[in-house]
A and B are shown apart, each in its own frame.
Chain A
Amino acid sequence: MVSFVLIVLISLVFSGIVIRTKSIASGRKGPGIWQPMKDIFKLFKKGAVYSETTSIIFQIAPSIYFASVLMAIMVIPLGNSKGLISFAGDFVFFAYVLAVGKFFNIISALDTGSSFEGMGASREALFSMLAEPAFFILMGSLGLLTGYTSFHEIFMAFHFGSYVSYALGVIATFILIMICMIENSRMPVDDPKTHLELTMIHEVMILDNSGFDLGLIMHTINLKFAMYGALIANMFLGDAPMYLTIPLFLSIQVLFAVVVGILESFSARFRMNHNAQFILVLSSLSLLMFFGVLMVLGKFN
């Protein structure tokens, strides 16, 4: 419950922080922290223009996308307080619920019958498909390390590993950050700053969305960021008491946002056809982590 509220709260300012970081990094006096939310609320109020080729799918997809992310967020715990939904193997549920949103996002892009959005959809589908094994093997190895299969238990137990577990934690963090970037189609994979055929994935998928739907999608991205941030945060929380957990959580989220901002301002986008390899590298990295875990547990000798 706590985690849900916190994540939703942090999502309000997340992209604000990112943009702020970027503007500072590029020496501009950028917009305020709240600017993105203001835009989104304006979008909520606006009317919309729909393509004639679209159907009910296009109308309902953003809502489902948003709902799926909310649902996924409910699974995420905070320190020693469970998420709203928590059971053995809940991260399977987590991944699949996100997949529902993705599914509709993709077909809504196809619904417009545009020559651009299909391209974005195709890439979104491919990259998220390639990213999924990394996530599952990561969770699998964490589960193997701790002996549990639900976020809450895993993260509770994770902190008390040996020192090697910190190394593992670092790898895990890196993988999670990368997955997050891929899922939100941000920097190393895609560049949100530019538009149309330059931003090949996400922005091009939502070319035809406008008004309320666009707002929903925008905020969904914020929520996703916050969600992954929460995952990363959880890896370092353990079951510290609540009065420690919450500030720690918030600071980690902010840190994550800053990191994202810095990453975006100081790195360049890959060429599209390099992305696939890059994402597969993540999977192999997670496999590496898996073997690391095996070593830690002494099962591998």
Chain B
Amino acid sequence: MGYLVSFIGILFASLLLIGWVDNKRKGTVAIIATLMISALSSIIAIKTLAGQTFTLLLKGSLVTGTVSLVVDPLSAWFILLINFTAITGVVYGAKYMQAYLNKPSGFTLHWISYLLAHAGLLVVCAAQNALVFLMAWEVMVLSAFFLVIFENHKTKTLRAGINYLIQSHIAIVVLTIAFIWVSSVTGSFSFTAIPEFVSNQKPLYSFLLMLLFFVGFGIKAGFVPFHTWLPHAHPAAPSHVSGVMSGILIKIGIYGILRMILLIDINYLATGYFILFVSVITGVYGVMLALIQHNLKKLLAYHSIENIGIIGIGIGLGCIGMGTASPVLTWLGFAGALLHTLNHSLFKSLLFYGAGNIHQGTSTMNVERLGGLIKQMPHTAILFLIAALAICGLPPFNGFISEFIVYQGLFHGILTYPFPYMLLLIVALFGLVLIGGLAIFCFTKAFGAVFLGVQRQRPLIGPKESSLQKLIPMYMVVGAILAIGIFPQVFISVLNLPVGQFTGHLGASADAVQPHSIQVLNHLGFYSGALLLIVAAIFLYRSRRQQVSVCSYSATWGCGYVAPTAKMQYTASSFIRNYRKLAEPLLSLQKFKKDVVGVFPVKAGHTIHPQDKVEELLINWPLHKFRVFMFKLSFLQNGRLQFYILYGMAFIMLLVGVPFIIYLIRFFVNFLNTI
């Protein structure tokens, strides 16, 4: 109780304070507030992970009924990762926002929304009452919306924001329906009612309920085909917001799905295969579109979708494990999913912060314009490179650990399951490998185009390295990434509690069922370290050689061409051209081409704008049709009094006439019968 009071106290005090102080200091206040809130919630979370579950029963109001706030290991895991990214985000953002000081308004709204979003996320993790959950959820959504539309004088930003708002609203509507269903059967808004529902209803209904929840949370998490808000919202938002959104906001959807898996005890096999299927599509689709983007932040947004796919594959495996009463698979699946959730929140936020540095350094996000930045901003370049390696799941970084666990799960499934079941697993394997390969492809493109070579267009403003306050949080994140990469076993041991909640369904405690093959993770770190050592050794030897032998510098070898220009080097889109040709049937690209014609050709050009096929088919087209239809109907309010009267007359005549006509017909029929 004391926790809650102080939580609310801190929150509101800081909100007022933010409204009060001037723009420069708002950031600092936000940092302090976030730190305090995070500390407060982290204490609870750590206690929980130490074994004592935190439960709080509030009386609630006449509407909500009893409100129970529970922090179990699952929530604790999410609370911790939320806090970490929230802190790095606010520290980075406080500096990032300094660039907008000339913009008069919006700072108060922005920082208040930031704190509210953080608080909302935390409450969502703890609330066990449907109404409170929905409220906290919407607080989070709305504040995130205000975070996104910080640059609200741009129509584009506003449109992206509204797009996000509406899709989140659809999500909350779906969730509302699901909760209504539960409460109309059980008459209670508490989460404890959901298992009750499941035990009373047909399995089919429970599955439908699960489906509803999956859709609701899936929109938030960005599963294909519910992902369309993501690629618009992330580029529109300020970079630290994109980092936080992609890092933790979409993860809350994952949390919801996991929570519902815990609560809805149904035929997990079907659920598992469903989730697995959707996730494979999500992952592959996400990375396929990421590859063809020009806008760096949009590219990163699509990578979030891809990673959600990987997490989903983990969850699917876990469900299959639960469905087939295989503790090992359950462990592998959920451990992989949870760990990858953490990992993604780390490296994706890092990538977005890096993108933020680039944006403020060069004031563009178009990779075709950039290049050679590693010279001007070495820190950012190295940080970005590390994050890129991590997101590609390469050793010695954290991405590899979680993907390795998921691979273990997949192979375990393939090796132990009968034929028809394992087919989807092999597809998932195929997908996962493809995702890995494409991710490498994509990030070699991104890193190469942005940081390497020479700048392709004359720099708009001389790029320069970001200040320390922006770099420190990034180095914090790198620290975490390396920690997980080199010493995974620590985190695995922590993971045992949340995963234990799932294996608990099979009556097995997590560390008991923790598969032997996972012991290798203890060595993996060592191997990764060894890799680093070997590299270091060779490099040292090489540089020793360099001293004795003579080294000189000259222009890049142009095969004899003497006047190379920056435009001649390979661009990002030419880098992926082969792939684009290959994948064209699956993508939808807007091409504008102006060929070279005539003896004295004029300026020619060729631009390609990647579109989202799913969005076109599922959102734009029906919406367009709907609006056309609606517009056709707008003759009703035509300003003619006679019509207004006629409406009433027609209404009455219909109500009177229709039954009367029916009567006449019946009368006539009877008459015929009498003849």
Direct contact of A and B (CB under 8 A): yes
Q: Does chain B have a CB within 8 A of A66?
A: yes
B444 touches A92 (CB 8 A): no
Nearest residue, chain A, Cβ from B545:
A212
Interface string of A168-181 (1 = CB under 8 A from B): 00000000000000
Interface SS of chain B: helix
B539 contacts across to A, CB distance below 8 A: 60, 63
Q: Does chain A have a CB within 8 A of B644?
A: no
Task: Pick the residue among A53, A212, A301 that contacts B542 (CB under 8 A).
Answer: A212
Q: Does chain A have a CB within 8 A of B212?
A: no
A60 contacts across to B, CB distance below 8 A: 535, 539
Q: Does chain B have a CB within 8 A of A64?
A: yes
Q: A71-B531, A87-B523, A88-B517 are in contact. Are A115 and B564 (CB under 8 A)?
A: yes
B535 touches A137 (CB 8 A): no
Complex alpha-carbon distance, A45 and B439, angstroms: 37
A121 touches B444 (CB 8 A): yes
Output the least CB separation between B549 and chain A (Å).
Answer: 4
Q: Does chain B have a CB within 8 A of A268?
A: no
Complex alpha-carbon distance, A216 and B546, angstroms: 14
B517 touches A149 (CB 8 A): yes
Complex alpha-carbon distance, A103 and B389, angstroms: 8
B372 touches A46 (CB 8 A): no
Interface string of A190-234 (1 = CB under 8 A from B): 000000100000000001100111001000000000000000000
B414 touches A144 (CB 8 A): yes
Q: Does chain B have a CB within 8 A of A16?
A: no
Interface centre among B445, B451, B535, B559 (most CB of A within 10 A): B535
Nearest residue, chain A, Cβ from B581:
A273
Output the least CB separation between B378 and chain A (Å).
Answer: 8
B422 contacts across to A, CB distance below 8 A: 299
Complex alpha-carbon distance, A66 and B531, angstroms: 10
B571 contacts across to A, CB distance below 8 A: 118
A140 touches B414 (CB 8 A): yes
B441 touches A99 (CB 8 A): no
Q: Does chain B have a CB within 8 A of A187?
A: no
Task: Pick the residue among A44, A53, A121, A208 that contacts B575 (CB under 8 A).
Answer: A121
A1 contacts across to B, CB distance below 8 A: none
B452 contacts across to A, CB distance below 8 A: 55, 57, 107, 110-111, 113
Q: Does chain B have a CB within 8 A of A276?
A: yes
Q: Does chain A have a CB within 8 A of B482?
A: no
B394 touches A211 (CB 8 A): no
Q: Does chain A have a CB within 8 A of B568?
A: yes
Complex alpha-carbon distance, A216 and B545, angstroms: 13
A122 touches B546 (CB 8 A): no
Task: Pick the residue among A68, A106, A116, A140 that contacts B429 (CB under 8 A).
Answer: A140
Nearest residue, chain B, Cβ from A127:
B578
Q: Does chain B have a CB within 8 A of A260?
A: no
Complex alpha-carbon distance, A75 and B405, angstroms: 18
Interface string of A82-105 (1 = CB under 8 A from B): 000101110011001101101100
Binding stretch for chain A, among B41-49, B191-199, B355-363, B550-558 = B550-558
Nearest residue, chain B, Cβ from A300:
B419
A107 touches B447 (CB 8 A): yes
B520 contacts across to A, CB distance below 8 A: 87-89
A100 touches B545 (CB 8 A): no
Nearest residue, chain B, Cβ from A75:
B527
Q: Does chain B have a CB within 8 A of A255?
A: no
A299 touches B418 (CB 8 A): yes
Q: Does chain A have a CB within 8 A of B473?
A: no
Q: Does chain A have a CB within 8 A of B93?
A: no
B448 touches A111 (CB 8 A): yes
Interface string of A55-67 (1 = CB under 8 A from B): 1110010011011
Output the least CB separation between B443 and chain A (Å).
Answer: 8
Output the least CB separation between A147 and chain B (Å).
Answer: 6
Q: Does chain B have a CB within 8 A of A136?
A: yes
A89 touches B419 (CB 8 A): no
Q: Does chain A have a CB within 8 A of B392?
A: yes
Interface string of A39-57 (1 = CB under 8 A from B): 0000011111111111111
B437 touches A63 (CB 8 A): no
A111 contacts across to B, CB distance below 8 A: 448, 452-453
A117 contacts across to B, CB distance below 8 A: 570
Q: A71-B527, A114-B569, A149-B411 are in contact. Are A96 and B542 (CB under 8 A)?
A: no
Q: Does chain A have a CB within 8 A of B32?
A: no
Q: Does chain B have a CB within 8 A of A132?
A: yes
Output the least CB separation between A153 and chain B (Å).
Answer: 11
A115 touches B558 (CB 8 A): yes
B415 touches A47 (CB 8 A): no
A96 touches B549 (CB 8 A): no
Output the least CB separation between B620 and chain A (Å).
Answer: 31
A110 contacts across to B, CB distance below 8 A: 444, 447-449, 452-453, 570, 575
Complex alpha-carbon distance, A87 and B389, angstroms: 23
Output the least CB separation between B469 and chain A (Å).
Answer: 25
Complex alpha-carbon distance, A300 and B426, angstroms: 14
Output the least CB separation between A198 and chain B (Å).
Answer: 12
Task: Pick the residue among B374, B445, B578 that contacts A57 (CB under 8 A).
Answer: B374
Task: Scan residues 558-597 of chain B and give those whose CB is less than 8 A from a CB of chain A.
Answer: 558-559, 564, 566, 568-571, 574-579, 581-582
A68 contacts across to B, CB distance below 8 A: 531
B433 touches A67 (CB 8 A): no
A285 contacts across to B, CB distance below 8 A: none
Q: Does chain A have a CB within 8 A of B472?
A: no
Task: Pick the residue among A45, A53, A55, A63 that contacts B535 (CB under 8 A).
Answer: A63
Complex alpha-carbon distance, A48 and B548, angstroms: 11
Q: Does chain A have a CB within 8 A of B404?
A: yes
A112 touches B453 (CB 8 A): yes
Task: Scan residues 146-185 of chain A and give those whose CB is less than 8 A from a CB of chain B.
Answer: 147, 149
Complex alpha-carbon distance, A54 and B454, angstroms: 9
Complex alpha-carbon distance, A98 and B273, angstroms: 31
Complex alpha-carbon distance, A129 and B555, angstroms: 31
Interface centre among A56, A118, A130 (most CB of B within 10 A): A118
B395 touches A113 (CB 8 A): no
Q: Does chain A have a CB within 8 A of B530?
A: yes
A23 contacts across to B, CB distance below 8 A: none
Interface centre among B385, B404, B412, B534 (most CB of A within 10 A): B534
Output the least CB separation between A39 and chain B (Å).
Answer: 16
Interface string of B391-434 (1 = CB under 8 A from A): 01111000010001001100110110011001000100110011
Q: Does chain A have a CB within 8 A of B438?
A: yes
Complex alpha-carbon distance, A249 and B534, angstroms: 27
Nearest residue, chain A, Cβ from B523:
A87
Task: Pick the residue among A52, A55, A196 that contacts B374 (CB under 8 A).
Answer: A55
Complex alpha-carbon distance, A55 and B531, angstroms: 22
**Can you report 20 A-B residue pairs in the complex whose CB atoms are below 8 A from each other?**
A47-B549, A48-B549, A48-B551, A54-B556, A55-B374, A67-B538, A88-B516, A88-B517, A100-B389, A102-B440, A110-B452, A110-B570, A111-B452, A115-B568, A132-B433, A132-B437, A137-B430, A149-B408, A211-B549, A273-B578
Closest 5 CB pairs of A and B: A118-B570, A113-B453, A110-B448, A129-B437, A88-B517
Task: Give residues in A with beta carbon < 8 Å to B.
Answer: 44-57, 60, 63-64, 66-68, 70-71, 85, 87-89, 92-93, 96-97, 99-100, 102-103, 106-107, 110-119, 121-123, 125-126, 128-130, 132-133, 136-137, 140, 143-144, 147, 149, 196, 207-208, 211-213, 216, 272-273, 276, 283, 287, 290, 294, 299-301
Given contacts A113-B372, A130-B437, A301-B419, 16 further A-B contacts (CB under 8 A): A47-B550, A51-B556, A51-B557, A52-B556, A53-B372, A57-B385, A63-B539, A97-B395, A111-B453, A118-B574, A122-B575, A126-B441, A129-B438, A140-B411, A143-B411, A287-B426
